[in-house]
Chains A and B, each alone.
Chain A
Amino acid sequence: MAVKMDPIHQFELKPLVSFGHIGNQEIAFTQSALYMFSAVGIIALITIVATANRSVVPGRMQSMAEIFYDFIGSTLRQSAGHGSERFMPLIFSLFMFVLVLNMLGMIPYAFAVTSHIIVTFALALLVIGTVIVYGFMAHGTGFLKVFVPSGVPGWLMPMIVAIEIVSFISRPISLAVRLFANVLAGHIALKIFAGFVPALLAAGAWGIISPLPLALSIAVTALEFLVAGLQAYVFATLASIYLSDALHPGH
């Protein structure tokens, strides 16, 4: 009972195969890794297995892959503009990976990989790293113009540049924390509200109000599905907007 009620328990990593330690780091194939590879498998099923026939008139799975492709393609084009096609694999992979992991996390008793900040932070750093590396590769030092907005009076410039640098540095943090916190908070809320139901039922006469948290947890479940999809979209959109800086640093 006590363990089941613990809303934090669900985020624990459970090593399935342990490979020992490096320093204090435990290297193990955990359920988190299993979910990651399951997500890759599911995405491959939708985008590769289902499209193997290359039918002109698509089936259900193939049209799902096409809808995702169109959706991410148009989001990327609108956010990052001309030349953004080269980032399509990255943004598409990010969106699908986060979306499928979020959705898998919504299955009861399943594990939400994106509730671990190290995962979301690594993905955010991948985005910002791509922005920096591609920005310098494509524009050289011209990429630094990203910190110098045009049309700002000279005396304001030092302050504006400082603000731009801070905002640039905070991007990966906000990107990572937004996804992590949304998934984590949602799962904790779900667990707590759902936990009230058996607790009230076990408390004798209080059991009469147990439908209340039940209804609430159903509502929160619906909300969490929305959040799961929305956060994947937000992650992909923000990544696209940041990549547009690498493509067009002058604004």
Chain B
Amino acid sequence: MAQPASPTAPNQATVVVPDSEHGGGFPPFQSHTFLSQLIWLALAFGLLYYLMAKIALPRIQGILHDRATRLSGDLDEAHRMKAEAEAAGAAYERALSEAQSKARAISADTRNSVAQETDARRKSLEAELNERLVASEATIKSRTAEAMGSVRGIAAETASAIVERLTGHSPDQAALNRALDKTSTAH
């Protein structure tokens, strides 16, 4: 498969040229290079393994671990702060509702006491008015009776005066009274 364009090679060099060029075949299968490749592979990979196992991987693991703990720490802190804020909010709400209920109680109390006061005042006023009404009625009655009494006297006087002028002598007091009684019962 090798050396398609070297018709001159066999003339110049016998075995050495193909040997140094292709080593007699397909390079990956040239077994005379195997030991050398294995030695360098062992050295390179051994070095790589040592570097990774002793330095790189523990360091990267440490970085990732640090970051994870720091993140979780920050998250915890954030959670704690959030809880605090929520507690503060709840306390505020509680204080607000307490104040509201207190204000409601105060307003109800005030309304009640004011209503009681006006009620009492109204009642006393009514009682006073009733009293005055009763007193006025009594006064009216007594005055009426008084007036009625005087009316009888005036009527008797007038009647006796009229009878005296007409007849010339004063009428009998008893007959006058009878007549007066008759008129007053007729009414």
Contact = CB atoms under 8 A, between A and B. Distances in A.
Given A12-B22, A39-B44, A184 B28 contact: yes
B59 A40 contact: no
A102 interface: no
B37 A8 contact: no
B63 A62 contact: yes
Interface in A44-88: 44, 47-48, 51, 54-56, 58, 62, 65-66, 69-70, 88
Interface residues of A, number: 53
B39 A27 contact: yes
A51 B58 CA distance: 11
Contact of B56 (A36, A37, A48): A48
Contact of B37 (A32, A40, A55, A90): A32
B27 interface: yes
A93 interface: yes
Interface in B1-48: 1-2, 4-6, 21-23, 26-30, 32-42, 44-45, 47-48
A2 B38 CA distance: 31
B34 A25 contact: yes
Given A13-B37, A92-B57, A97 B45 contact: yes
Contact-residue size bin, chain B (C-beta under 8 Å from the other chain): 35 or more
Interface in A1-59: 1-3, 6, 8, 11-13, 22, 24-30, 32-33, 36-37, 39-40, 43-44, 47-48, 51, 54-56, 58
Consensus secondary structure, chain A interface? helix
Consensus secondary structure, chain B interface? helix
A28 B36 contact: yes
Contacts of B66: 54, 56
Given A8-B27, A56-B67, A69-B64, A116 B59 contact: no
Contacts of B2: 6, 8
25 contacts: A6-B4, A8-B22, A11-B28, A13-B27, A13-B36, A13-B37, A24-B32, A25-B36, A32-B40, A33-B40, A36-B44, A40-B44, A43-B48, A44-B48, A51-B56, A69-B60, A88-B57, A92-B57, A93-B45, A115-B28, A119-B41, A122-B41, A122-B42, A123-B41, A184-B28
Given A54-B63, A69-B61, 16 more contacts: A11-B27, A26-B32, A26-B33, A28-B36, A33-B36, A43-B48, A47-B52, A48-B56, A51-B56, A65-B60, A89-B52, A92-B52, A93-B48, A97-B48, A118-B33, A123-B45
